[in-house]
Amino acid sequence: MSKKLSFGLVGAGAIAQAYGQAFPKAEYAQLVAVADVRPEAAKNLAQVVGARSYTSYEKMAETEKLDGVIICTPPSTHPDICLHFIEKGINVLCEKPFSIDSRSAYAMRDAARKAGVLITMASKFRYVQDVIRAKSIVESGILGEIVLFENAFTARVDMSERWNANPVVSGGGVLMDNGTHSVDIMRYLLGPIAQLQVVEGKRIQGLDVEDTAQMFVMSESGVRGSIDLSWSLNKELDYFIRIYGSQGTISVGWKESKYRQASSPDWIVFGTGYNKVQAFCRQLDNFSQAIQADAPLLITVDDAIASVEVLETAYAALPQSHWVSVAPLKMPVAIG
């Protein structure tokens, strides 16, 4: 039976605050330490959850007895920090994007397997109950053969002072930031992505990275998809996922989710929408149970690497005007 495990948190920024809200509700995880190079940020978050604060993740790893750690730092720092904890035998849940390049992603995976610890990417939408239910509805066959997938993550956000818009730190713009969620959602619902094409929109905010982009994707099973991403416009949709089948449609929304079969004029509501804290809480519990071998990971390290590969392909495809194939997942290197 799963017990409550002790976690450290590296980074005390915006995403870390969501974990701060989720930990008190988690059944199998407790936050005991927070590390951030900004002393006040670490101290403030630690006080909220009753944890200890550190100004370096190295000191936290050396001092605390941790079962796992959550990495909430900018993407370019993920490999070094993750490898540090892996080498100490600590399980790692790394915020998205897992890495900004596949080479370092493979290194993280292979090091974790050699050390005998778990590492995976935090991907909150896999833990949203409506998304999980949508997957079961799609797989039930009541929507017929799936034809088209749509996803939109668009909102007006001033990115001029945020690290997400610094390509050296973030690895890219809205494609890397929001697109990681989009890619993982489509893979979760419809399987591996085989091909893609990317079109960049106008750079409204004058950033060094793309602030609006469209991805056109095709799954290995032949389902086409369109993904709209923007920090500079809001499409004002009440849903963020819509899937069209030959016999029906499903819509996963921010406040409610529903589906309708072609044989009926009525929509059937099956969920209450997106609950961020609830999703984070389920993510913590799933990772904790997986560490104790009491449940499988809902998102594996190979899922994480597949997302990195798709995004890596997407950036390579940006200057081109045709479909590009996604490279297959590379197997672990031989050890020993």
The pLDDT confidence band at residue 335, using thresholds 50, 70 and 90, is very low
Domain architecture of the chain: domains with CATH: 5-123+278-299 (3.40.50.720), 129-274+309-325 (3.30.360.10)
The pLDDT confidence band at residue 2, using thresholds 50, 70 and 90, is confident
| Per-residue model confidence (pLDDT) at position 334 | 42
| Per-residue model confidence (pLDDT) at position 331 | 54
Q: In Å, what is the CA distance from 317 to each residue of 8, 164, 187, 326? A: 38, 21, 19, 10
The pLDDT confidence band at residue 263, using thresholds 50, 70 and 90, is very high
Q: Give the model confidence (pLDDT) of 67-87 as tens digits.
A: 999 999 999 999 999 999 999
Dihedral pair phi/psi, residue 150, rounded to 5°: -130, 140
Beta bridge partners of 107: none
Locate all alpha helices (DSSP H) within 116-241, ordered by sequence: 129-140, 167-170, 174-177, 179-190
Angstrom distance (rounded) from CA 174 to CA 198? 12
The answer to whether the Cα torsion of 255, 97, 121, 327 is positive or negative is positive
**Contact yes or no for 120/93 (Cβ under 8 A):** yes
Mean confidence (pLDDT) of the chain: 95
Rg of the chain taking only CA atoms, in angstroms: 20
CB atoms inside a 10 Å sphere around CB 239: 18
Q: What is the dihedral of CA 36, 40, 44, 49, to 10 degrees?
A: 30
pTM of structure: 0.94
Residue 297 confidence (pLDDT) above 90: yes
Q: Which two tokens stand for residue 118?
A: 């778990």
b/e sequence 18-33, b meaning 16+ C-beta within 10 Å? bbbebbeebebbbbbb
| Per-residue model confidence (pLDDT) at position 327 | 78
Angstrom distance (rounded) from CA 98 to CA 22? 21
**Contact yes or no for 137/245 (Cβ under 8 A):** no
| Per-residue model confidence (pLDDT) at position 330 | 63
Crossing angle between the packed helical segments 179-190 and 301-317, to the nearest 10 degrees: 120
| Per-residue model confidence (pLDDT) at position 46 | 96
Q: Give the model confidence (pLDDT) of 104-121 as tens digits.
A: 999 999 999 999 999 999
**Sequence-distant contacts of 55-61: CB under 8 A, at least 24 apart:** 57/8, 57/10, 57/81, 57/84, 57/85, 58/84, 59/35, 60/8, 60/10, 60/33, 60/35, 61/8, 61/85, 61/88, 61/90
Nearest to 253 by CA among 148, 133, 143: 133
CB atoms inside a 10 Å sphere around CB 192: 16
Dihedral pair phi/psi, residue 3, rounded to 5°: -115, 170
The percentage of residues in the chain with a pLDDT greater than 90, rounded to a whole number, is: 95
Q: Give the model confidence (pLDDT) of 181-230 as tens digits.
A: 999 999 999 999 999 999 999 999 999 999 999 999 999 999 999 999 99
